[in-house]
Structure 1
């Protein structure tokens, strides 16, 4: 098992909103909510600059989940100015969706993700790490 030293992680205890949402006010409210949660979870002060980052999300969903690819951008955008200075610094994206009702093996999961799984409610786990060599992902 690879040891990961997270630069940032947080749990968003709500159903995510798609960047394709017709209700733009709802989308902006979602981004503001995620931004606020990120500010509360970010302990470093200034955002990260000048590197390549790996952005990871795990969406624990109920019935009728949002498309995983459509929830990445609003969350990533909400971290700009808090965690990283610009989302162009994100070179790697990992996204995962799991149904809460299927049961989730908690072995080797980060503590915040375990917390989300045990809540039984829709949530999104977010992590930012330094990007690794391409071969480490393939």
Structure 2
């Protein structure tokens, strides 16, 4: 398992990168940025390349497209968690329906909190990327 550098839970439905209402998209990015500033205890942003961004979207029965929620979150962490999103080399995104049974046995505690909330949320984790063979 890769070295954890940062994690947080956003207790809101994400906004798609393709949202027609650009003000809503910007408000979402500002919200994520603000939450990251509160949660980030690392001081200055990470400048080391080779980061892995993992998102787990716990959704209702009409979810946003998983691929369209990555970019706004990745952008919102710039300047807080990492200096530039070009430092992120690996991205994992997962969508799970809250109506499905989710085994919380081996999940990180923040993700367990998200599951037990029972409302749409996003678990965000930044860690060091692993060697390619670890993923294949």
User: Normalised by the shorter chain, which TM-score bucket?
Assistant: over 0.9
Q: CA RMSD in A?
A: 0.8
Deviation at 1:50, TM superposition (A): 2.7
Aligned structure 1 segments of 4 or more residues deviating by more than 6 angstroms = none
| Alpha-carbon separation, structure 2, partners of 1:91 and 1:26 | 28
Superposition pairs of residues 93-104 of structure 1, within 5 angstroms? 93-104=91-102
Q: CA deviation at 1:6?
A: 1.1
**Match for residue 112 of structure 1?**
110
Equivalent pairs, count: 136
Structure 2 residue corresponding to 1:50, chosen from 44, 48, 58: 48
TM-score (norm. length: structure 2): 0.98
Gaps of 5+ in 1: none
Shift of 1:103: 1.9
How far the C-alpha of 1:107 sits from its partner, in A, is 1.4
Which residue pairs with 2:65 in the alignment? 67
Gaps of 5+ in 2: none
- Choose from 57, 60, 81 the match for 1:83: 81
> In the superposition, relative to structure 1, how do residues 34 and 24 fare at CA in structure 2: closer, same or farther (>3 Å)?
same
After superposition, give the CA deviation of every residue in 1:7-65 in whole Å (9 maximum; x if it has no partner): 00000000000000000000000000000110111001100003210000000000110
